[in-house]
Amino acid sequence: MDLLLSPVDTEIINVVDTCHPLGEQGASREERLSQGDTVDQGETQNLGGRKPVAGIQWMDGVTYGTVFDLLYFVNLISNGQTESLAHLARETGVLLNKADLVPKEGRYRINSDVFLFPWKPTFRNPWRGHVPKGTFGRVHLAQDTETGKRMACKLIPLKDFRSSEVEIQARLRHTNVAQLYGAVLWNGTVHLFMEAAEGGSVQEKLDTWGPMRETEIIWITKQILGALDYLHCRRVIHHDIKPSNIVLMSSKAVLVDFGLSVQMSGDIFYPKDFRGTEMYMSPEVVVCRGHNTKADIYSLGATIIHMQTGYPPWVRRYPRPAYPSYLYIIHKQAPPLEDIADDCSPAMRSFLQLALERHPGQRGTAKRLLRDKALHPLREQHPRCWSLDSVLGEGSRHPGQQRSQLCDTLKGTDHYNQLCDSVPRLLPVHHEDMRMMRI
């Protein structure tokens, strides 16, 4: 079921589907793990002393490999001579996903073995000609011509590429963390292939539809807290939690863009520069005197305010033209509790106060916040949230049948009209429905 997705323009994808129809699903993540394509959680702590698999010819084509092979490759190109690497005779790289990415004779040719589509025509946005962009690159929709596998492909100029863009993400395996499929260097650009999110980002949804309902916010927040709990247990700080780095898939929300992430060696990380996006930064990040994983929790709280109101914290009270930087404001006035939406429920307001606590030691952890009552409203307190959970478990039904049964269930309640208005926005738009809408 395509939950929370903006309307998708399928014309380009349908053309590719006609030429390259989708086959059977590839091996599961568990099967790929058993084949040695990735490392397990116990190996994520220390990569020192590892050597690449024997037989791989570095800088001579595209091949399958392990996570360690991929990390060796990205360190090689990030530390190499940019000028010489920019003019290689053929593509070079390492792919982790044997089931869905198919190089041919040591090549993985762009727009031949894999098609790239700019995200702009794929996701319609009436207010902004937006192409998703990460820390140092633009993102395209990609499709393998052999298997039909759809992916995201982040394009990073070699001169801007840093091995940290890959090092952490390649070692992570969690349902709410975008899975990395491989990296290919061609024509002076690093192509990072990863799990696709054809529903676009939360930022795109906000740009298109405006503020989100609390039901939607609860659903997304639980997913991202699950990812943060996984990261923080491994001492990983994401450093850039914000709406554009949360993307929507068919049945889950996924965290992307690990270009600023670090894995702490101790209890505190002491940065040499600012890491993150101003409006979502925590007070301790702003002063650059050391911080820990709690910085991500604060950024998530700021992101929730953005989802509630359609605006990041601070910007409505302190318009950008008059305040070119928010660092001083955050240092002096955080947390931005005045920016919480007026219609925020009491439980969610308490949740935000805990997530946005100025002092990191008193701020909630991801594990603690996952248990917060704001994310688990009772059915009678929040019937729309209960109905959304029901829809998640019945994704195979036709949208019309889902709408009818959900509304019948809640007839006679005070929230009936609100629910019937909200369900079409949360349910998938099937291709047939889209054609009727166009007619």
Q: Which residues are catalytic?
A: 240
**DSSP state at residue 89:** S
- The C-alpha angle 355, 237, 368, rounded to 5 degrees, equals 35
Cα torsion 59, 64, 68, 71 to 10°: value is 50
Residue 359 per-residue DSSP state = S
Contacts of 253 (CB under 8 A, 6+ apart): 4, 176, 202, 219, 220, 223, 224, 246, 247
DSSP state of 248: E
Closest CA to 249 of 194, 191, 201: 201
Q: Hunting for tokens 């308490």 — which residue is that? A: 350
Q: Are 178 and 195 in contact (CB under 8 A)?
A: yes
Place of tokens 């589907």: 17
Q: Is the separation of the CB atoms in 317 and 327 below 8 Å?
A: no
Is cis: bond before 283, omega within 30 of 0? no
Q: Rounded distance, CA 388 to CA 379, Å? A: 11
According to DSSP, the β-strands at 138-144 and 180-186 are unpaired
Q: Is 144 exposed, middle or buried (0-12, 13-18, 19+ CB in 10 A)?
A: buried
Of 281, 363, 268, 362, which is closest to residue 328 (Cα–Cα)?
A: 281
